[in-house]
Structure 1
Amino acid sequence: MTKPKLWHSYSARSLRPLWALEEMELDYELELLPFPPRVFKREYLELNALGTVPFFTHGDTEMTESSGICLYLVETFKQLDFGLPVGHAEYGDYLNWLFHSDATLTFPQTIALRYSQLEPKDRRLPQAVEDYSTWFIKRLKRLNAHLEGREYLCDGRFTIADIAIGYALYLGESLGLDQFYEPIVVDYWQRLKSRPAFIKAEAMGSEQALFKAVKYPFTDAPELF
């Protein structure tokens, strides 16, 4: 079977599967795209009608969901050192963190990012930025509690659940929201971003970055919690 191929834009959710590919030391192809590719590389729409990243192929398989691609890599390439098998006592928790990472954590950040940096200045909405940033920080409560006494999320070891949640923390840092992380989350995030595979993956495509890390413009921290 052909080796997997990933289409990636710097700082986008495609960092999740790219990080996973590096952790698993798999042989893969990488296509770097400017963000958002549906605007700056229109021909990409012929390949992926959504115009989003990631886009992933492996033989006849095509995928667009970052955490799903990570799960596919674990199960297809038998990389169970980075996942948990069905029947494991923490399997449900493992799956929950994978889905929680986007449905609960990344979604509000994408709204904040859009209306703070990506829209033209006359379309930016400070109130939306503040509201959705608040949403994200409040929804870190489960992570705050879960990390008590833990180094990683599941089974006492690093898995793709950490990659999925780690990207949400990475995006929060780029929005200046890391100043509101609880100390236990700060320590956890430091462990994740110190991993050699993350450092290597995060640098890929950095010359095409559309937005830079910023300082969060609102300072009314008590309301965020």
Structure 2
Amino acid sequence: MERELVFYTNPWSRGAIVHWMLEELGVPYRMETLEYGTTMKAPEYLAINPMGKVPAIRHGDVVVTEAAAICAYLADAFPAAGLAPELQARGEYYRWLFFGAGPLEAALSLKPCGFTPTPEQQMQLGYGSYEAVVNTLAQAVKGRRYIAGDKFTAADVYLGSHIGWGMQFDSLEKRPEFEAYWAGLKDRPAHKRVAELSEQAAAQQTATQE
């Protein structure tokens, strides 16, 4: 019996990363849109994610939170989609998927807050400095269509989302390397569908609140 796949999200959240991943998979799923401060903090959802944040998924009895973990899980749960390399070829895949979830996420989140770590603080922080992260990422995507080999993978969904958003919201410099890499991803049919669906969901949510 096929296990139900439920996707918990909000149109103004990192849930868009998982939404893109789901559309790339092409498998049936049910989407539940939650509101900040209300249904996202309700006991029913806190039983899914005690952090009271989205995204999260429930696949049968399996619950997964954190966007990078969800992408990795879905790639393995639905191997027919080909969104994860063979196990022996996953070095780059795991490296950049979790580079995005760790150093890149931290650096892009703290930059708009005006936090610039001192050399001493950089030794304590997992990402070191914004400059180190950005330079490393630029070198990684330079001249590459995909980040983990010659095929599109879940790592491109996750890393590409952060690069696209980072440039859009000015938390990431618009370097030629980033623009070229993102240009090769943003027009994928699955990503365009998610962008359209997110705009519709956001418009409906705004209309409901007015």
- TM-score of the superposed pair, with normalisation by structure 1: 0.74
Q: Which amino acid aligns with 2:189?
A: P
Residue 193 of structure 1 aligns to a residue in which SS? coil
Structure 2: gaps of 5 or more residues: 118-128
For 1:193, the equivalent position in structure 2 comes to: 186
Report 1:164-203 matches (<5 A): 164-178=158-172, 180-203=173-196
Residue 63 of structure 2 aligns to a residue in which SS? strand
Cα RMSD for the two superposed structures: 2.3
- Residue 153, structure 1, aligned to residue 152, structure 2: no
- Cα deviation, residue 137, structure 1: 5.4
For 1:109, the equivalent position in structure 2 comes to: 108
Q: Distance in 2 between matches of 1:29 and 1:52?
A: 18
Q: Distance in 1 between matches of 2:131 and 2:27?
A: 34
Taking only the aligned residue pairs, the percentage that are identical comes to 26
Report 1:1-225 matches (<5 A): 1-34=2-35, 37=36, 39-41=37-39, 42-43=41-42, 44-79=45-80, 81-88=82-89, 91-112=90-111, 115=113, 127-128=114-115, 131=116, 135-136=129-130, 138-178=132-172, 180-203=173-196, 204=198, 205-207=201-203, 208=205
Q: Distance in 2 between matches of 1:74 and 1:63?
A: 13
Matched residues, number? 188
For 2:124, the equivalent position in structure 1 comes to: none
- Cα deviation, residue 51, structure 1: 0.3
- TM-score of the superposed pair, with normalisation by structure 2: 0.79
Which of the pair has the greater relative contact order for Cα pairs under 8 Å at 6+ separation? 1
Q: Distance in 2 between matches of 1:9 and 1:136?
A: 28
Structure 1 residues 148 and 46: CA distance shift in structure 2, 3 A: closer
Q: Distance in 2 between matches of 1:174 and 1:198?
A: 15
CA contact (8 A) 1:97 1:164 kept: no
